[in-house]
Structure 1
Amino acid sequence: MREIVFDTETTGFDPKNGDRMVEIGCIEMIGRVETGKSYHCYYNPQRDMPKSAEEIHGLSDIFLSDKPLFADKADELLEFLGDAPLVAHNATFDFGFINAELERAGKTAIAMDRMVDTLAMARVKHPGAKLSLDALCTRYGIDRSHRVKHGALLDAELLAQLYIELTGGRQIGLSLAAEGSEKEHAVSVDDDAVIAEDRPFRAPRPHKASAEELAANTAFLEKMGIPIWHRG
C-alpha cells in the first residue's frame, strides 16, 4: 500500500486567523518501506513571518520572498499525493493548513478520512508520556542529531521512521541487489506477517532417509549389542 508521510511549516497556529503554510515535505512509502521518492516545496505566504515562528523553523521573510505561491504549485503537490493515505504528527493541524491553502487556490479539499495521525497512535501506545516528535524519536532510538531547527522534509523523514516503529518496526536486512544497485532491501514486520523483498526461491531439501542410509543405520545398531534404550 502506498502512503505519504508529510510535515508542514507555517506562520502560526490557525489558518482561520490568516496564518499560512510556508513549507511542505513529503516522503513516499510502499508497504511501510521508504521508496526514496519525496516532494518538497517552500511557499511565499504573502504576509510577514512572526518572530516566534521564525525562531522555530528559521524561514525568514527575505528567504521566502522569491518562493512560488501555493496556488502555482498546488497541482504539482496534489499529483504527488495522489489518493494515498496521508500520515502526519498531530495531523489535524497539517490537514487544516493544506485544506485552507487548497481552498484559497480554488481546489477541492483533501478528505479527512485519508488522515493517519501518529500522535493519536502514540497516545494509545504510551498514555501519559511525552508525545512530541523529539520525545518519541528519543524513545525509539531514532537519530535526530542533525535536527537543529524544524524543517518539513527533515521532520517528515524522522516521522517516517517513527511511523514504522509505531506500526510494528522494521529490520534492515543485507542487500541482495545486483552489484551497483543502491536499492535497500528490508524486512517489514506487521502484526502477523513478515514480508521480504527479492528472497531467492529454494526447493525444500529431502528429509526421508534413503534405503542405503537405513541399511547403514541397522548395521550400526547391530554392532552395539543391546542398546541402552532397550535395557530394562
Structure 2
Amino acid sequence: MREIVFDTETTGLDPRSGDRLVEIGCIEMVNKVPSGAVYHCYFNPERDMPAEAEAVHGLSIAFLSDKPKFAEKAGEFLDFIQDSPLVAHNAGFDFGFINNELESCGLEPVSRDRMIDTVAIARRKHPGAKLSLDALCTRYGIDRSHRTLHGALLDAELLAQLYVELQGGRQIGLELAAEAAMPTEGSMTVTSSVTRVFRSPRPHAASAQELARHTEFMAGFSEPIWSR
C-alpha cells in the first residue's frame, strides 16, 4: 500500500484570510516503509512574510522571492501524490492550504476522504497527553535533535517515523520491507522482485512410541488436578 506522509509551511494560519503555502515536503511510504522517494519544493507566496511565521520556519521573502509559484509546480505535486492516502499531523490545516492553492489554480481540491490525521490517531491512543509533533517524538524516542526550526521535509521525515510507531511500531514492516518499492532517482521507483521458496510443512505429530511414553509419564501423578 502506497501512502504519502507530508507537511507544509505557510505564511500564517488561515488561507481564507490570504495566507499562502511556502513549502511542502512529501515522503513516499510503501507498506509503512519509506521508499526513499520524496517531493520537496519552496514556493513564492507573492505576499509578505509575517515576522511570527518567519520565526517558526525561518523562510524569508528574500529567500522565497526567486522560488516558483505554486501554480507552476502544482502538476508535479499532483503527479507525485497520485491517488494515495495523505498522512499529516493536524491534517485539516495542511489540506486547507493545499486545496486553497489548487482551487486558486483552477484545479480540483484533494478529497478529504484521503486524509489520515496523526493527531487524531495519537489522541485515541493517548487521551489527555500532549499531541504536538515534538511531544510525540519524545514519547516514542524519535531523535529530533536536528530540528531547530520547522521545515516541511524534515517534519515529514519525523512524522513518517511517528506514523509507523502510532500504527504499532517498526515490527509491522519486517515482512513487508522486501516488497516495498525501492527508489532509483528523484521520485522514480522500481519494484523489488523477491522470489519466495515455500517448503512443505514438516511432520509434527507425536509418534506412537512418544504417545506411549507420555501415557506412562502421566500415570505417575497421584491425584492430578486436571482429573478432578
TM-score range, shorter chain: 0.7 to 0.9
Amino acid at match of 2:54: E
Show the counterpart of 2:88: 88
What is the rounded CA distance, in whole Å, between the counterparts of 1:107 and 1:202 in structure 2?
Answer: 49
1:146-168 Cα deviation digits (max 9, x unpaired)? 11100000000000010001111
Query: 5 Å matches for 1:1-232?
Result: 1-171=1-171, 198=194, 201=197, 203-204=199-200, 206-207=202-203
CA shift in 2, pair 1:205/1:75, >3 Å: closer
TM-superposed deviation, 1:203: 2.6
Structure with larger Rg: 1
What is the rounded CA distance, in whole Å, between the counterparts of 1:44 and 1:12 in structure 2?
Answer: 14
CA shift in 2, pair 1:204/1:61, >3 Å: same
TM-superposed deviation, 1:202: 5.7
1:104-160 Cα deviation digits (max 9, x unpaired)? 111110111010000000011000000000000000011111111000000000000
1:43-83 Cα deviation digits (max 9, x unpaired)? 00000101100010000010000000000000010000100
TM-score with structure 2 length normalisation?
0.79
Amino acid at match of 1:134: D
TM-superposed deviation, 1:206: 4.6
TM-score with structure 1 length normalisation?
0.78
What is the rounded CA distance, in whole Å, between the counterparts of 1:166 and 1:76 in structure 2?
Answer: 30
Identity %: 64
Secondary structure at the aligned position of 1:154 is classed as helix
CA shift in 2, pair 1:66/1:30, >3 Å: same
CA shift in 2, pair 1:205/1:59, >3 Å: same
What is the rounded CA distance, in whole Å, between the counterparts of 1:114 and 1:124 in structure 2?
Answer: 19
Number of residues of Structure 1 aligned to a counterpart in Structure 2: 202
Secondary structure at the aligned position of 1:134 is classed as helix
Higher relative contact order (CA 8 A, sep 6+): 2
